[in-house]
Structure 1
Amino acid sequence: MAAIKVPEFPKAKLLGSRFRFALLILLFLCLTAIWSNILTYNIAIVCMSANSSSNHDVHTRIFTNGQSTLAVVFVAIGNIIAAMPVIMLVNRYGTRTVLGVLGLCSSVATFFIPLAIRHSIAAFYILRMIQGTALACNFPVIGYFTERWTYFKQNGMFISVLVTYLQLAPAFTNPVSGALCSAAGWPSVFYFHGGLSLGLFLIYAVVFRNNPEKHPFVGNTEKTKIAKGKITAEKPPVPYLSIIKTPAIWGVWIAGLGNFTVINLLFLYTPTYLHKVVGFGETSTGLTSAIVPIAEGIVKIISGVVSDKLPIRESIKVRLFNTIAFIGSAVFLAIIAFAKIHNGPVSLVLLALSGGFIGLNTGGFYRAAPILSKQFGSFVTGAISLCMSITMLILPFFVQGVAKKNTEGQWEIVFFGFVSNIFFVILVRGEPCWWTKVPSDQSQTSDDIPPQGTDSKLEKNEKESINA
């Protein structure tokens, strides 16, 4: 009797052929930790002002409006100074070293902030600059990771997950910090976040690799799948001048300015607004201010997946998502600004709706950046970090000047987001820019890529290896 021949399958590595998803989650948590370390101050200052004479800490510093403004400004200064050097370092050394070192610096700086607040306001500002310097690597890291680790059909999903760190950070930090403030005093907020982020970055340093080819837990099937549609030859130097002269790229960056005007206004000042204008207490401020980023984060992930599946031209797709995001967000913040609503539940609903709509931009300018720049995504996406820094630098002075009494007036600046979308719609394109082109024998062409909704041979092999 003839023996039954058993078909051979590729040897499955850790997590089958999906180890990239484990790294996606790890990187997402690390990016979240860097942003959370910065946001700790927003809840801690509410706790300081409410409990300056409590038994938790008799040495609590009372920050003036000017000092509070500078606490945000120095984060932006650190970010702006580090932006270009960090982008160049990421392009040269990869994200494992750069993010690992800066993440550890952010963790240590956060841990020492209580000591600096008690003894030296200058030292406090220096530590805030270090936090801002670490933040400068977040968007270059997103561009670098999606360029090297993402399968082309999952590009939108990976981007939407990674940029949602902006929402997870306040959704986690605000309620946790509020509870810590009430239970153990404001210094515990910094100690907790500093220690947690330190642990995350130690894990990151051990587990992460810059490329799939160098990772021991990534099998051949997954490596081949990730390489689909990517440049196979050595990447040429970044054409900085050509990129800067491209109108479509400026459309993305201007949209980034509008986006972070809304984002920073929502995340940096919602806790103060809810506490001083609406009248929520410390713990309830932390819990309720988390609703806005949660709403935005959910919409971001959904819109990233939907944008991958939507069967329309990329140019139409990114314009559609971006326009709905900015118009929807502006409408609900305009109601808060001009209707002078002081009702707690109504204010929360309006803020959550505004945050939810702005989350649609993962299908807009966030998606457009890697499509336009392809192998140079780490620079184009990384420069979006500058947009974040510029708004962080300007907004505190605007809020202090226009809304000194913590009124609804601060929300009126959101209309800049609406204006920025006009530039985006006019300038953006749906195909890679000319400076991304390489000879056809150096990269896989679009003919090598199966249409959406069909299983390629590679995907079938992956499923077989997982089920083996």
Structure 2
Amino acid sequence: MFTQQMNFSIAMPAMVNHTALPSQANVSKAGPPTEAPDNRSETPEELKAVAPVYDWNPEIQGILLGALNYGSLFAPIPTGYVAGVFGAKYVVGAGLFISSVLTLFTPLAADTGVTLLIVLRVIQGIAQVMVLTGQFSIWVKWAPPVERSQLITIARSGVLLGSFVILSVGGLVCDTIGWPYVFYIFGGIGCACTLLWFPLVYDDPVNHPFISPAEKEYIVASLVEQGGSPGWSVPLKAMVRSLPLWAILVSAFSIYWRNYIIVSYTPTYINTVLQANFRDSGIMSALPLFVAFPIFILGGQLVGFLLSRKILRLITIRKLFTTIGVLIPTGLHLSLPWVRSSHSTTLALLVLTSVFRNLCEVGALLNMVDIAPRYSAFLKGLSQVFSSLAGAVSPTVSGYFINQDSEYGWRNVFFVAAAVDIVGLVIYLILGRAEVQDWA
């Protein structure tokens, strides 16, 4: 899923005409890249391999990068609701299939025009929400509470693994056979994964035909106290009045504001500010995720260790990890404009940012499973609305700043992200709770 979510960010530097002025109109022009060798020296086969480029200024690029989140502002709530009632198998499987097919058609949409490409990415964003939101209803029925943080982080580490794969391979694909193949390859892999999903996944252990009776009994017994399926009833009024829930939602917005900047603009930052080519920018963008991948899993294991040994209370763990995951990356990001002359220092800061940033995943972003396990899929959908809102706004705002001033634009982007981050952290530290709420 995340290879498909990030492939556009990887392909963007290869898709745009870097000679286009910021004030140029939003028009798409297919043709060989400006920096390409003299066409007269190329063979007919090489000419066919040249991918088209488009005259999209930074502001238009920001809109395209954010479009994946425009249509997903309201989709997560019904998606989480339906997944909570009917189970995640068909909701997640359908979302994976739709997103994969639309990924295959992305190059054709780009050739047709910006408007169609935006529409395609909006629909694709909705399909991806079906996957990212619906999967949480699986963990409520499969993960014993004391093991929940470990199991969710192991599964969610696929976010980092997929991002690492697309960043490390995507630049190479763009540089050799052309950016359209980034969409063809990972769209095709997604379609193949869909064929594995439906026969192998079951909504709960009771109906699973392969696990042992002992494992089935252990899982079912551990989940007795959290209550059964929520059914059709959802206590909306109580949720609206729940301050701990609002703390999680505001935190999701502030955390994902910076996360979407990292996801959308790291390849562009490395390509434009550090002047790296497509291949090197992909590898440099992938390195932080490669380092963060094992750290992310270890973070979940650490939460389980601290909780099982009763070293810290659950809410203390959530707030501690969130604080570290916000403050350290904020400071590192604010330092980036001052060290851009050094590639190694910039890369080190990006690696450390990614490592510490992922601690938020086992902090505030996992907190809804604590306060309302039986409604976790619905609440994950609600949280995803705030995350998607941040994802729709932050790349667009960032594109505006960069378009206005290429030298100081990045500094303004990081300052705004820092302000949003700090506000969200303060609200979470004051209002965050980890006890199951009365309405749940």
What range describes the TM-score normalised by the shorter chain of this pair? 0.7 to 0.9
Q: Per the alignment, do residues 48 and 362 of structure 1 end up closer, same or farther by CA in structure 2, a change over 3 Å counting?
A: closer
Mapping 1:223-262, distance limit 5 Å: 223-231=216-224, 233=228, 235-236=230-231, 237-262=233-258
In the TM superposition, residue 62 of structure 1 has moved relative to its aligned partner by: 3.3
For 2:174, the equivalent position in structure 1 comes to: 181
Q: Per the alignment, in what secondary structure is the counterpart of residue 273 of structure 2?
A: helix
Counterparts of 2:112 and 2:174 in 1: how far apart (Å)?
20
For 2:439, the equivalent position in structure 1 comes to: 435
For 2:22, the equivalent position in structure 1 comes to: none
Counterparts of 2:94 and 2:326 in 1: how far apart (Å)?
35
Q: Per the alignment, do residues 342 and 398 of structure 1 end up closer, same or farther by CA in structure 2, a change over 3 Å counting?
A: farther
For 1:22, the equivalent position in structure 2 comes to: none
Q: TM-score, normalised by structure 2?
A: 0.86
In the TM superposition, residue 92 of structure 1 has moved relative to its aligned partner by: 2.8
Whether 1:309 and 2:302 are equivalent positions in the alignment is: no
Counterparts of 1:189 and 1:152 in 2: how far apart (Å)?
39
In the TM superposition, residue 145 of structure 1 has moved relative to its aligned partner by: 1.5
For 2:360, the equivalent position in structure 1 comes to: 361
Letter paired with 1:208: V
Could you list the structure 1 runs, at least 4 aligned residues long, displaced by more than 6 angstroms after superposition: none
Mapping 1:437-456, distance limit 5 Å: none
Q: Per the alignment, in what secondary structure is the counterpart of residue 367 of structure 2?
A: helix
Mapping 1:241-390, distance limit 5 Å: 241-310=237-306, 311-337=311-337, 339-390=338-389
Counterparts of 2:168 and 2:229 in 1: how far apart (Å)?
47
Whether 1:414 and 2:410 are equivalent positions in the alignment is: no
For 1:399, the equivalent position in structure 2 comes to: 398
Task: Flag the structure with larger Rg.
Answer: 1
Q: TM-score, normalised by structure 1?
A: 0.81
Whether 1:48 and 2:32 are equivalent positions in the alignment is: no
Letter paired with 2:75: A
In the TM superposition, residue 65 of structure 1 has moved relative to its aligned partner by: 2.6
Tell me the alpha carbon deviations over residues 260-307 of structure 1, each in whole angstroms, 9 at most, x when there is no partner.
Answer: 112111111000000000111110001110122233333221111101
Counterparts of 2:387 and 2:3 in 1: how far apart (Å)?
15
Letter paired with 2:6: L
Counterparts of 1:342 and 1:389 in 2: how far apart (Å)?
33
Tell me the alpha carbon deviations over residues 224-250 of structure 1, each in whole angstroms, 9 at most, x when there is no partner.
Answer: 111233246554522222122210111
For 2:155, the equivalent position in structure 1 comes to: 162
Tell me the alpha carbon deviations over residues 161-218 of structure 1, each in whole angstroms, 9 at most, x when there is no partner.
Answer: 2333332232111111111112211111100010001101110011111111111112
Letter paired with 2:204: N
Counterparts of 2:147 and 2:335 in 1: how far apart (Å)?
37
Which ranges in structure 1 are unaligned for 5 or more consecutive residues? 1-32, 437-468
Which ranges in structure 2 are unaligned for 5 or more consecutive residues? 19-31, 37-46
In the TM superposition, residue 374 of structure 1 has moved relative to its aligned partner by: 1.4
Residue correspondences, number = 402
In the TM superposition, residue 425 of structure 1 has moved relative to its aligned partner by: 0.9
Tell me the alpha carbon deviations over residues 304-359 of structure 1, each in whole angstroms, 9 at most, x when there is no partner.
Answer: 1101111211121111111111111111112114x253311111111111111111
Counterparts of 1:73 and 1:280 in 2: how far apart (Å)?
24
Counterparts of 2:160 and 2:250 in 1: how far apart (Å)?
21
In the TM superposition, residue 73 of structure 1 has moved relative to its aligned partner by: 3.0
Q: Per the alignment, do residues 126 and 85 of structure 1 end up closer, same or farther by CA in structure 2, a change over 3 Å counting?
A: same
Counterparts of 1:71 and 1:316 in 2: how far apart (Å)?
39
* 8 Å Cα contact 2:14-2:278 kept in structure 1: yes
Whether 1:101 and 2:94 are equivalent positions in the alignment is: yes
* 8 Å Cα contact 2:81-2:377 kept in structure 1: no
For 1:117, the equivalent position in structure 2 comes to: 110
Q: Per the alignment, in what secondary structure is the counterpart of residue 403 of structure 1?
A: helix
Q: 2:78 is matched with which residue: 85, 104, 108?
A: 85
Q: Per the alignment, in what secondary structure is the counterpart of residue 259 of structure 1?
A: helix
In the TM superposition, residue 121 of structure 1 has moved relative to its aligned partner by: 2.7
* 8 Å Cα contact 1:91-1:378 kept in structure 2: yes
Mapping 1:63-74, distance limit 5 Å: 63-74=56-67
Q: Per the alignment, in what secondary structure is the counterpart of residue 81 of structure 1?
A: coil
Tell me the alpha carbon deviations over residues 101-134 of structure 1, each in whole angstroms, 9 at most, x when there is no partner.
Answer: 1111101100011111112333222221121011
Letter paired with 1:432: V
My pick for the range that moved more, 409-418 or 309-318, is 409-418
In the TM superposition, residue 383 of structure 1 has moved relative to its aligned partner by: 1.9
Q: Per the alignment, do residues 362 and 84 of structure 1 end up closer, same or farther by CA in structure 2, a change over 3 Å counting?
A: closer
For 1:191, the equivalent position in structure 2 comes to: 184
* 8 Å Cα contact 2:3-2:162 kept in structure 1: yes
Q: Per the alignment, do residues 122 and 408 of structure 1 end up closer, same or farther by CA in structure 2, a change over 3 Å counting?
A: closer
Tell me the alpha carbon deviations over residues 127-162 of structure 1, each in whole angstroms, 9 at most, x when there is no partner.
Answer: 211210112124422421210111222111122123
* 8 Å Cα contact 1:138-1:385 kept in structure 2: no
For 1:143, the equivalent position in structure 2 comes to: 136
Counterparts of 2:317 and 2:81 in 1: how far apart (Å)?
31
Letter paired with 2:394: L
My pick for the range that moved more, 78-87 or 147-156, is 78-87
